[in-house]
Amino acid sequence: MRTVAAQSTTRSEANRMVDEMTGGMGLTVSRNEIAVHLPSNLKRLTICFCSNLVTVLDEEQVSGSCNNTSCQTLPDRLGKMELSSCSNLATLTSTGNLPKAVRYHSIQRFSINDCEKLETLPCNNNLISLKKLEIWKCPAMVSIPEGGFPTSLTSLVLVDTDICKSLFEWGLNRLTSLEVLEINGGCPDVMSFPQEEIGMILPVSLKSLHISHFPNLERISSIAQNLTCLEKLTISYCPKLKYFPDDGLPQSLKQYGIMDCPLLEERCKEGEGLYWSMIGQLSDRVSRSFDHSDYTSQSEEE
């Protein structure tokens, strides 16, 4: 990945740098104040620290560039896009949705981090190939896009965002291909997970589940037992968490970790905890880890 910091560069010079540096692979546009040409064969695009950026796609423009307020078009081959620390970014498109003629078939991974004014994503029928979605620290985003998230998703990471309530009510079980789910914060009122009181069901396709920073979470509900494909379960920073499901954890588990959940950890103490008989049965075939690296999101691992 190459970086173009264009604030002190002429437009022609910036475009020459882009053409020479990317080779059709990856480009980072950082602290940009002028238009930068986006090559048609670009596969990865990162836009970061662009404080004047207010929208990513302006449907009223046609030029393939990224300037101080918007990007007019995105390359057709773009497979990965990241937006980070764009403090005034309010929408991904000037109308709130991608135009009907535009379908970004190629985008498979989309990451948004620390965009404090961004409120929503485009409707899901525009991102039909999206597999990995990460939303970090976007406090204004409190609802999911019209139609929910794309059912093609295999990995969903939500960190410090208030979108969870809307997502849970829409139905996570609709994401029938989802294998990795990480929810870190954004659920201050959740007392049980999955939430039985709203009929919440997790996708049976899940292989890895990580929940963290649920300040009022008290129990893992019995619905979790239905996750017959679950191989990895990690739970961290849930100070009130005390109860596992009465019928135990999924028999498919291969790895589990509990960190900074003092009440639950007390119940899982070897030889004496209330849940030790349950945990002990798993221990013969399940690896147990308390390494902080196990609580690192998928985005940091790749």
Q: What is the pLDDT of residues 30-65, one digit of tens each?
A: 766 545 567 777 888 888 888 877 776 655 544 444
Q: Which of 44-48, 72-76, 151-155 has the highest mean pLDDT?
A: 151-155
Partner residues linked to 4 by β-bridges: 29
Judge if 185 and 92 occupy the same domain: no
CA 235/CA 294 separation, integer angstroms: 10
Residue 92 pLDDT exceeds 80:
no
Judge if 288 and 188 occupy the same domain: yes
Judge if 126 and 170 occupy the same domain: no
Distances (CA, A) of 45 to 41, 78, 83, 223, 230: 11, 7, 9, 39, 33
Average pLDDT over residues 232-238: 95
Higher pLDDT, residue 153 or 75: 153
Judge if 112 and 162 occupy the same domain: no
Question: pLDDT at position 256, please?
Answer: 86
Judge if 244 and 275 occupy the same domain: yes
Higher pLDDT, residue 182 or 254: 182
Judge if 121 and 188 occupy the same domain: no
pLDDT tens digits, 162-172: 999 999 999 99
Domain holding 68, by residue range, is 1-134
Judge if 94 and 163 occupy the same domain: no
Backbone angles phi, psi at 72, to 5 degrees: -80, -45
**Interstrand relation of 80-84 and 44-48 (parallel, antiparallel or unpaired):** parallel
Judge if 164 and 244 occupy the same domain: yes
Question: Which residues does 271 contact at the CB level (< 8 Å), separation at least 6?
Answer: none
Residue 202 pLDDT exceeds 90:
yes
Question: pLDDT at position 248, please?
Answer: 84
Question: pLDDT at position 43, please?
Answer: 84
What's the burial of 113, exposed, middle or buried (CB within 10 Å: 0-12/13-18/19+)?
middle
Residue 298 pLDDT exceeds 50:
no
Judge if 288 and 202 occupy the same domain: yes
Residue 144 domain flag? no
Q: Report yes or no: 252 and 222 within 8 Å, Cβ to Cβ.
A: no
Residue 182 domain flag? yes
Question: pLDDT at position 272, please?
Answer: 84
Structure tokens at 129: 């190939």
Total tally of structural domains belonging to the chain: 2
Residue 174 domain flag? yes
Q: In which element (H, E) is residue 300 found?
A: helix 298-301
Judge if 211 and 255 occupy the same domain: yes
Q: Report yes or no: 202 and 227 within 8 Å, Cβ to Cβ.
A: yes
Residue 238 pLDDT exceeds 90:
yes
Last residue of a domain, one of 85, 102, 134: 134
Residue 15 domain flag? yes
Residue 95 domain flag? yes
Residue 22 pLDDT exceeds 80:
no
Residue 141 domain flag? no
